[in-house]
Structure 1
Amino acid sequence: MLKKATAVFVVLCVLGGVYEFTLRGKGVISGKKVLRIGGAGWMISEFKLVEQIERFEQRHGDIDVKLEQLPTGYDTILMLQASVGEVTFDLLLSPSNYSVEQYHTRGLAIPLDELIPADFARRVIPGMLECSKAEGKLYLLPFMGEVEVLNYRKDLFEKAGLTRPPRTWAEFETWAEKLTDHPNNQYGMSLCLAQNFFFIQNTYLVLLRSLRGSAVDERGHLDLTSPEAGEVFRMLKRWWKKGLVSPACKNPLGSADDFKSGITAMFPNWQSRGQWAQRNEALREKIRFAPLPEAQRVGSLIAVHGGMILKGTQRQPEAALFLTEAMIGYAQKEIIAAGKMPVTYDMYTPEHVADWMLEVGRTLEKAYAAPEPLVITELAEYVSVAFHRFLDSPSDDPGPFLKEAREQVQRRVYDRYE
């Protein structure tokens, strides 16, 4: 009798384990729907995601949120898992506009258009939504933005008798001349001039957009053919030859380091770069922010991070609810406190953001993102090398250098995809 009871107990345990495993596979534990979220480590800490989740769970007692920190190289891991039909997360809180095309082309993400209410989507700044799409469909719901601004040193401006930041690139050059003092190792500007992606993103794109109103050609490719493209190369070479740019800007981290140390006075880059520097208490009152020169006319360069719902999940409505209610709701306060830009119009008010952020917000109606996210890193290699060859040459004609870059880009990048 005891043996029979034991056998029955074992069978029940096995069946119970199978049942629990099945429920877990369907995202149900203890009668609750389980929402599995993968979050970037820096977001978990800076945006206080654990607190946001607790608040969400209190409002929705039938949902149990499981948060895990995404490992380094998680994109590759997720793609390998997806190739064998395994879905580790329902929702990712990390992807940027640069990864939308990658997830879409590999069939890893689902479109969000029917999951996000239309009236809610209209609250989001159009440029931030547009760069989150692939083939016209929304695959990423942005909840934070980066905007390229003019980070500048208030203390050095006051010393030079400058009472406001420059509003045009011509003024930017004039201001830089007044702020340059070589005997005291001081330069007017920091620029990303290293031979890498940031030269394209944070320097070439914004100048090109200011000169011709667009950074792409008639085919939708990064513009390397127009007269304005050549003018960007000439402007940068002129500023370099005049000694307005610190020599360290040729190094990947040199531009940011020189700005923080006070060697340079102006630094066109993401607003978070200046805010990170402000975390040093000694710099808090010395660093200020303004819209990039010409941004009121042509808009500001943006990048976004957001939430992406993975294909195969059975928790699509719950994931969409967490994004709209938590991440673009009560989490926005922590996102702003972390130095990031809000994504909805209603947050750009004096009660939510600082005055400089309000001013930058007025440039976002025409916001634009870097083009061709799938290949722009490759493009940057050839274009930045071409610029450095022009910079080091005695020639004042950038034409041959841009022509060579165009040919390399066509042969080694576009021909593979077209």
Structure 2
Amino acid sequence: MRNHGSWTAPAIIMLALATVLSLSACGSEAKNANTDLGKGTGAVKDPASPQTVTFFSWVGNEPQMKKMAAEFHKKHPNITIKFENAPAEQAQQVLSTRIAGNTAPDVAYINASDTSDYAARGALVDLGNYMSRSEVVKPDDYVDGFRTFVTWNGRMWGLPFDGETTGLFYRTDRFKEAGIDGPPKTWDEFRAAAEKLTDVPNGKYGFEMFASEAAYYYYPWLHQAGGEPLTKDGKDIAFDSPAGRTAAAFYVDLAKYSPKDYLNSNSYDGRVAFAKGDVAMYVAGAWFAGTLADEYPKIEGKWAAAPLPEGAAGCKTTLAGDSLVMFNQTKVSDAAWLWMEFLSQPDNLAAWTYKTEGTLLPPTKSLLDGDDLAKEKPVLKPFADLMQCGVASTVANPKYPRVETILNEELSKAIYGDQTAAEALDSAAQQGRAILARG
């Protein structure tokens, strides 16, 4: 997720969902799986002779990662980190192919939402024993949503490493002009603010929507209404529940406060309308804060960020993030764990996330709640607060990406006014159930 420029959080989530399809093709990937990896007692010790740990990611060329690898080698001279890099958009396909071919790396930095898929197919090392022997990694310190991402069958198979939440950006200058004291805290306040901030004849709007990413930006409202995309067992559609219908009706209705010229934009391209002040409110991940600071420094002081307004189910938002995993084809599991443990040290998590020019957040409660984050990167405080509200699903139905594509298309039609929100859900659910029912 780090420093992806126009590679926005929605795009990452879409990719993560799409790659479930390729993951499912791997079957029981690790033919030489060793179920004894990680067993032992006491602190994990350095190897007596030189070992190399291969580390697969799309961030191996980043200065901070190289710096941490150098520091690690000084502390553990018998362990060398060998970076194996792939572009973010190709990483999952490359990794899945390597796993199937028994050439998996020792450790990888992956989309956190993919962790359970790899674990379910027998490709990862259960980290429970390693964590029980560690003075650094404390499972209870991870934000619940990120623990959910890396948990399968009641056990943790990855270490959350970085992430972000979806929040509300708003133009403080537009709010002041409209006489609105602060960001909306409820759905009703949000709708009222959007209406008050909309002046169509003068090209001013309260909110900005993106039909091309309709499903992704529907999910926060869905969760806030108490709904889910799929049932808990992952076998049936759930977004057409009463809660889902309430969320869709509210969400689609917001299109009346959004500029029509930007409906076909994506959340990155549509940033221009917010930067110009034509749009007063904008829902996006923390990445948007960095984009505004880098590309539109002249509007500094004219915008702020806040938690999403709450629905009937209270504070809920979507999460995106990355995790560290160990593959059970490794021959150097203890050395691999020492690398994962080193990266998980609080100072390294901070250095990788909020103490950079980027806008990623650490996945631990202790860092999120600490004074240092607010001091170093004040704009991230609302997103840090939202971490406790993050919703993460580990339902891994390889057919859902196709269902989501249909949901996106149907909600998009509703946003354009071609059908109602209810009709969109009915159509998407009917087509989705047909897909899920196929053998």
Q: TM-score, normalised by structure 2?
A: 0.77
Paired residue total: 379
Pick from 224, 229, 238 the counterpart of residue 210 of structure 1. Answer: 224
The alpha-carbon deviation at position 391 of structure 1 amounts to 4.2
Shift of 1:55: 1.4
Within a 5 Å distance, the mapping from 1:243-392 to structure 2 comes to 243-253=257-267, 254-280=269-295, 281-294=297-310, 297-334=314-351, 335-336=353-354, 337=356, 338-348=358-368, 349-353=370-374, 354-355=377-378, 357-370=380-393, 372=395, 374-392=398-416
Structure 1 unaligned spans of 5+: 1-27
> What amino acid maps onto 1:155 in structure 2?
D
Query: Structure 1's 44 and 136: CA in aligned 2 closer, same or farther, altered over 3 A?
Result: farther
The CA distance in 2 between the partners of 1:260 and 1:246, in whole Å, is 17
CA RMSD for the aligned pairs? Answer: 2.9
Residue of structure 2 equivalent to 1:9: none
Of the three residues 67, 77, 92, the one matched with 1:61 is 77
Aligned partners of 1:259 and 1:267 also within 8 Å: yes
Q: Does 1:34 align with 2:52?
A: yes
More helix by percentage: 1
The corresponding residue for 2:437 is: 415
* Alignment partners' CA distance in 2, 1:368 and 1:189: 23
Query: Could you say if the C-alpha distance between residues 208 and 113 of structure 1 is closer, same or farther in structure 2, counting changes exceeding 3 Å?
Result: same
Report the Cα distance in structure 1 between the residues aligned to 2:92 and 2:152, rounded to whole angstroms: 18
- Indicate conservation of the 8 Å contact 2:207/2:254, yes or no: no
- CA deviation after TM superposition for structure 1 residue 189, in Å: 1.0
Residue-by-residue CA offset, 1:105-150 (whole Å, 9 max, x unaligned)? 4433222222223761111112211122233332221111110111
The residue type paired with residue 212 of structure 1 is G
CA distance in 2, matches of 1:245, 1:135: 45
CA drift at 1:309: 1.1
Mapped partners of 1:385, 1:31: distance in 2: 57
Aligned to 2:39: none
CA distance in 2, matches of 1:102, 1:141: 15
Q: Is 2:49 the partner of 1:48?
A: no
1: CA distance between counterparts of 2:332 and 2:275? 45
Equivalent-residue separation in structure 2 for 1:80 and 1:244 (angstroms): 43
Change (3 A) 1:199 1:328: farther
Answer yes or no: is the 8 Å Cα contact 1:274–1:287 preserved in 2. no
State which of 126, 137, 140 in structure 2 corresponds to 1:111: 126
1:339: Cα distance to partner?
0.6
1:369 Cα deviation from its structure 2 partner: 1.9
Kindly tell me: are residues 274 and 133 of structure 1, through their superposed partners in 2, closer, same or farther at Cα, counting changes over 3 Å?
Answer: same
Once residues 210 and 127 of structure 2 are traced to their aligned partners in structure 1, the CA distance between those partners, rounded to angstroms, is: 35
1:77 Cα offset (Å): 2.5
Kept in 2, the 8 Å contact 1:149–1:291? The answer is: yes
Asked whether 1:233 is paired with 2:251, we answer no
Q: How far apart, CA to CA, are the structure 1 residues paired with 2:303 and 2:102? A: 49
Distance 1:212 1:299, change over 3 A: closer
CA distance in 2 between partners of 1:218 and 1:69 (Å): 35
Q: Which amino acid aligns with 2:264?
A: K
Q: Deviations for 1:344-392, whole angstroms, at most 9, x for unmatched residues?
A: 1111212233455444434433421256454443222111222234445
Question: For residues 78 and 215 of structure 1, what CA distance do their matches in structure 2 show?
Answer: 27
Alpha-carbon separation, structure 1, partners of 2:123 and 2:257: 48
Structure 2, unpaired ranges of 5+: 1-45
Deviation at 1:259, TM superposition (A): 2.6
Paired residue type of 1:259: F
Is this contact kept in 2: 1:79–1:108, CA < 8 A?
A: no
Q: Under a length normalisation based on structure 1, what TM-score does the superposition of the two structures give?
A: 0.80
One-letter code of the match for 2:270? S
Q: Which of these residues, 125, 135, 139, is aligned with residue 153 of structure 2?
A: 135
* SS of residue in 2 equivalent to 1:66: strand
1:166 paired to 2:187:
no
Q: Which residue identity lines up with residue 349 of structure 2 in the other structure? A: Q
Question: Which stretches of structure 1, 4 residues or more, deviate above 6 A after TM superposition?
Answer: none
* Contact 2:47–2:335, Cα closer than 8 Å, also in 1: no
**CA deviation string 1:209-248 (max 9, x = no partner):** 22236555465555233223222332233222x3435531
- 1:181-209 deviation digits (Å, cap 9, x = unpaired): 33442221123321xxx4222x2111122
CA contact (8 A) 2:359 2:380 kept: no
Do the aligned partners of 2:167 and 2:307 also contact (CA within 8 Å) in 1?
yes
Match of 2:162 in 1: 144
Structure 1 residues 30-73: Cα deviation after superposition (integer angstroms, max 9, x where no partner): 942211112214x742x710111111112222211122322452
Gap change, CA 1:284 and 1:219, over 3 Å in 2:
same
**Cα distance, 1:305 vs structure 2:** 0.5
CA 1:283/1:313 → structure 2, altered by over 3 Å: closer, same or farther?
A: farther
Percentage identity across paired residues of the two chains: 18
